[in-house]
């Protein structure tokens, strides 16, 4: 990180990125498996950088709300780690999956223990455990995101949650399968309801960049209290870097070199430990489910600023 100056002009960097992205022709396709995602323009684009003190810079549609989807898995993981600590790692692994994000093959080989908390199976386990401990996994997530983003209007999109539930057979299969190994405590239908509500959170780049500063501050919340130990924050960042972008984590580490987490709504958050957090949004996805313009924008960000961990 030698090239970084302390007075970096994030706004200028964001505008340079937006210009470059605007010149790029291809942009992938919006997720089309539920109506709410399919209707978003694949070329929409927004990006925000939040500094540790809560200052936010943005460009494009950085205040536009979108479906956070799997990005929320980072925060559910943080909440559960805060509640139960390392015991979680006996029920979900910390290794990249080497398989697409909802594969049952791996689960069968490893007796119902998902490889990491960001594949769907792993996120179900984390939600299950958090729900057992708090009685309200989805509600707790929403409270955390509202507090960290400073946006009390953040909410679930129950139409999205309903659409997911209506086509939720794959996740139901994962849930029942892990339950058959004793790795799920709650009834599967109840668990799925919690899970789909979490995924349906609607938030903007500004909201999510601010929320992600939790991890840039090594686990300290916006109000100065500590949610995670420094070691736990490091764990979450490490899992983001190695497992945060489905089957493309290696390529993401190559190109971007930051802990990051993507969602099929087209959003990606990224963390520069000790410096800032980012969120970029553009609904057009590549064939592995990551935002095409989003990855390109983060690539440009680390190239322009030198803010990569490598």
Residues that bind a second copy (CB under 8 A): 1-2, 93-99, 103-108, 115-116, 167, 169-170, 172-177, 179-180, 188, 233-235, 237-239, 241-243, 247-251, 253-254, 257, 259, 273-274, 308-310
Q: In this complex, which beta carbon is closest to a second copy, that of residue 42 or of residue 259? A: 259
Backbone φ and ψ of 220, nearest 5°: -90, 135
Extract the tokens encoding 159: 């139409």
Q: In this complex, which beta carbon is closest to a second copy, that of residue 157 or of residue 299? A: 299
Closest distance to a second copy from the beta carbon of 297 (Å): 17
Cα 232 to Cα 193, 210, 227, 273, distances in angstroms: 27, 19, 9, 13
| CA angle (150 as vertex; 146, 155 as ends), nearest 5 | 30
| Residue matched to tokens 């924008």 | 297
Closest distance to a second copy from the beta carbon of 255 (Å): 9
Q: In this complex, which beta carbon is closest to a second copy, that of residue 63 or of residue 310? A: 310
Helix boundaries (H) for 150-204: 158-166, 169-180, 188-199
195 is in an annotated binding site: yes
Distance in Å from the first CA to the final CA of the chain:
8
| CA angle (121 as vertex; 117, 122 as ends), nearest 5 | 15
Closest distance to a second copy from the beta carbon of 249 (Å): 6
Closest distance to a second copy from the beta carbon of 171 (Å): 8
Q: In this complex, which beta carbon is closest to a second copy, that of residue 63 or of residue 170? A: 170
256 is in an annotated binding site: no
171 is in an annotated binding site: yes
70 is in an annotated binding site: yes
Hey, is 56 helix, strand or coil?
strand
Closest distance to a second copy from the beta carbon of 91 (Å): 15
* CA gap 41, 209 in Å, rounded: 22
183 is in an annotated binding site: no
Q: In this complex, which beta carbon is closest to a second copy, that of residue 85 or of residue 250? A: 250
Is the Cβ–Cβ distance between 292 and 27 less than 8 Å? yes
Q: Residues annotated in the binding site, as ranges?
A: 70, 120, 164, 171, 195, 246, 264
Q: Residues annotated in the binding site for substrate, as ranges?
A: 70, 120, 164, 171, 195, 246, 264
């Amino acid at each position: 990180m030698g090239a970084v100056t302390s007075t970096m002009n994030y706004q200028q960097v964001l505008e340079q990125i937006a210009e470059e992205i605007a010149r790029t022709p291809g942009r992938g396709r919006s997720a089309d498996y539920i109506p709410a995602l399919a209707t978003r323009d694949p070329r929409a684009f927004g990006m925000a950088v939040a500094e540790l003190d809560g200052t936010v810079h943005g460009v494009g549609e950085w205040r536009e709300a979108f479906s956070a989807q799997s990005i929320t898995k980072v925060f559910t993981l943080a909440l559960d780690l805060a509640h139960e600590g390392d015991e979680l790692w006996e029920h979900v692994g910390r290794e990249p999956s080497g398989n697409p994000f909802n594969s049952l093959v791996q689960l069968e080989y490893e007796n119902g223990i998902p490889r990491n908390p960001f594949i769907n199976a792993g996120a179900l386990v984390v939600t299950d455990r958090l729900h057992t401990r708090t009685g309200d996994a989805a509600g707790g997530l929403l409270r955390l995101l509202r507090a960290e983003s400073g946006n009390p209007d953040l909410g679930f999109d129950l139409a999205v949650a309903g659409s997911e539930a209506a086509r939720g057979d794959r996740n139901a299969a994962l849930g029942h399968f892990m339950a058959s190994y004793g790795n799920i405590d709650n009834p599967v239908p109840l668990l799925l309801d919690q899970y789909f509500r979490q995924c349906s959170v609607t938030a903007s780049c500004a909201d999510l960049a601010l929320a992600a500063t939790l991890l840039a501050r090594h686990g300290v919340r916006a109000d100065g209290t500590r949610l995670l130990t420094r070691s736990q924050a490091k764990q979450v960042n490490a899992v983001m870097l190695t497992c945060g972008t489905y089957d493309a984590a290696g390529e993401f580490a190559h190109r971007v070199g930051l802990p990051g987490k993507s969602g099929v709504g087209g959003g990606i958050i990224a963390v520069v430990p000790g410096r800032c957090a980012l969120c970029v949004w553009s609904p057009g996805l590549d064939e592995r489910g990551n935002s095409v313009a989003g990855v390109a924008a983060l690539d440009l960000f680390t190239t322009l600023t030198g803010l990569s961990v490598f």
